[in-house]
Amino acid sequence: MSFPWAKEYTPQHPLMRYLDEKLPVPRLVYNAVGGGYPVPRNLSYMWNFGVLAGFCLVLQIVTGVILAMHYSADSTIAFAKTEHIMRDVNWGWLLRYAHANGASFFFVVVYLHIFRGFFYSSYKAPREMIWLLGVVIFLLMMATAFMGYVLPWGQMSFWGAKVITGLFSAIPLVGEPLQIWLLGGYAPDDAALNRFFSLHFLLPFVIAAVVILHIWALHIPGSSNPTGVEVKSESDTVPFHPYYTAKDGYGLGVALLIYFAFVFFLPNYLGHPDNYIEANPLSTPAHIVPEWYFWPFYAILRSFTADFLSIPAKLMGVLAMFAAILVWFFLPWLDKSPVRSGHYRPLFRKFFWFGLIPTMAVLFYCGGAPAEQPYVMIAQLATAYYFLHFLVILPIISSIERPEPLPYSITEAVLGKDEAAQLEPAE
């Protein structure tokens, strides 16, 4: 698809014309991220994070494939192999730190991408499919990150594997056999480590495939924009290249500075020291926490401390944790307001900045804190608000809210008047 004014790919060189006839890959690239993709002219830096997430995926695949060249998924030597990478392999320390911090960086970028979607209601029609695919990507990322964290076979790896597969044991009747099946044993060992390694290698490529669908679906309606007003005419858009290749390139440069500050100066800041102790099935570390990017969901898991209507607390916690993400799938239908952008939705905006964001911050903090008071109670209140926000507050807001007046077009939002696009003199 494209807007009728999208520039046509016109190869000049005979070789490129030949290629365009036989295998039009350059045309595909031109129409996807080149001059042939018209993009709203008013995108802010919040629209950088899709490209950054794509960059992270490539970064993780490249460093991960290399790490796999030096690693062995044998529980007797996996821990030693990790140290082998750190000490013996040329530049191994850099590659492993780049991969471990790359995972964190990937989640930072994706969380910002998702919150951009929340604020600007990027999930609304006609972009529901993009959103649904995005949630699928996020779930795949969580599975991949979890299994990757098991591979160094430290204490946190082992107990993470045990606790997370333990979630499945909460399922009535089939739970315990299911956990044993997942692990290939009664506790994480060789069988579990090998299948986690295999799947950790496979899933990034599955993610890449869903990313392609995500981008494909995006290119049908085209990118959303901070006003939420759909593109009306050519003056509302600029070609992706050079305008957004330059803007994304700048954003990438800034992001890489922050990323490498961690890789080089704080490589273990986001990790846990206990993971430098080899896995010991006989001793659980005093305070086990998942990686920081799981903390909000971990807090929800731990919020259910008492049986609820004859459903055991353990099962409730697991259901709530999964529901906390699955509820995102229903967002396009929970938020019925015809206005997309939070900039024109006064009530929605208040609940976003003073409801959802602080709640996520509290859940994040409590998920990383020990499972004791007052954190448990605070997390319980935050969990309650979290579900209330998506399931009750959003639908109510969208029916009672009176949105602020929208600009007629993107051009008007940017230049004050739509016909100004033609009158603006050259610098």
Partner 1 sequence: MTETTVTANSVEGAEGTDGVRRRDFINVAAVSAAGAGAAVVLLPLISQMAPSADVLAESSTEVDVSGIEVGQAIKAVFRKQPLFVRRLTPKEIEEANAVDINSLRDPQTLAERTKEGHLDMLITMGVCTHLGCVPLGAGEGENKGPFGGYFCPCHGSAYDTAARIRQGPAPKNLEVPPYEFTSDTVVKVG
Least Cβ distance, residue 272 to partner 1 (angstroms): 25
* Closer by beta carbon to partner 1, 27 or else 81: 81
Which parts of 281-320 interact with partner 1 (CB under 8 A)?
none
Task: Please say if 248 is a catalytic residue.
Answer: yes
Q: Is residue 193 a contact point for partner 1 (CB under 8 A)?
A: no
Which parts of 69-88 interact with partner 1 (CB under 8 A)?
69-70, 84, 87-88
Q: Which of 189, 234, 278, 401 binds partner 1 (CB under 8 A)?
A: 234
Cα–Cα separations (whole angstroms), residue 240 to 35, 243, 361: 6, 6, 34
Binding mask 249-268 for partner 1 (x = CB under 8 A): x-------------------
* Closer by beta carbon to partner 1, 92 or else 290: 92
- Residues 401 and 262: their CA atoms lie apart, in Å, by 43
Contact call for residues 331 and 131 (beta carbons, < 8 A) = yes
Catalytic residue among 84, 219, 232, 314: 219
* Closer by beta carbon to partner 1, 70 or else 195: 70
DSSP 175-215: HHHHHHHHHTSSSSSHHHHHHHHHHHHHHHHHHHHHHHHHH
Q: Is residue 68 a contact point for partner 1 (CB under 8 A)?
A: no
- Residues 70 and 75: their CA atoms lie apart, in Å, by 15
- Residues 130 and 219: their CA atoms lie apart, in Å, by 10
Q: Could you report how far apart the first and last alpha carbons of the chain are, in Å?
A: 34
Query: What backbone phi and psi angles, to 5 degrees, belong to 145?
Result: -65, -40
Q: Is residue 94 a contact point for partner 1 (CB under 8 A)?
A: yes
Q: Which stretch binds partner 1 (CB under 8 A): 182-190, 231-239, 261-269, 288-296?
A: 231-239
Task: Give the relative orientation of helices 245-265 and 92-119 as an angle to the nearest 10 degrees.
Answer: 130
Least Cβ distance, residue 421 to partner 1 (angstroms): 6
Q: How many residues bind partner 1 (CB under 8 A)?
A: 24
Task: Go through 168-200 and write b for each residue having 16 or more CB atoms within 10 A of its CB, e for each that does not.
Answer: bbbbeeebeeebeebbeeeebbeebbbebbeeb
Q: Is residue 95 a contact point for partner 1 (CB under 8 A)?
A: yes
Q: Which of 75, 165, 235, 409 binds partner 1 (CB under 8 A)?
A: 235
Q: Read off the tokens for 235.
A: 């003056």
Query: What backbone phi and psi angles, to 5 degrees, belong to 292?
Result: -55, -30
Contact call for residues 239 and 7 (beta carbons, < 8 A) = yes
Q: Which of 51, 53, 57, 89 binds partner 1 (CB under 8 A)?
A: 89
* Closer by beta carbon to partner 1, 5 or else 186: 5
Contact call for residues 310 and 106 (beta carbons, < 8 A) = no
Task: Please say if 247 is a catalytic residue.
Answer: yes
Contact call for residues 351 and 121 (beta carbons, < 8 A) = no
Task: Please say if 13 is a catalytic residue.
Answer: no
Helices within 230-352 (DSSP H only): 245-265, 295-302, 313-329, 331-334, 346-351
Q: Which of 6, 53, 66, 132 binds partner 1 (CB under 8 A)?
A: 66
Catalytic residue among 124, 200, 214, 247: 247
Least Cβ distance, residue 30 to partner 1 (angstroms): 17
Catalytic residue among 291, 335, 412, 418: 291
* Closer by beta carbon to partner 1, 100 or else 129: 100
Q: Is residue 137 a contact point for partner 1 (CB under 8 A)?
A: no
Computed on alpha carbons and rounded to an integer, the radius of gyration of the chain in Å comes to: 24
Task: Please say if 124 is a catalytic residue.
Answer: no
Q: Is residue 128 a contact point for partner 1 (CB under 8 A)?
A: no
Least Cβ distance, residue 50 to partner 1 (angstroms): 19
Can you give the binding site for partner 1, defined by CB under 8 A?
Answer: 5, 62, 66, 69-70, 84, 87-92, 94-95, 234-235, 238, 249, 421-422, 424-427
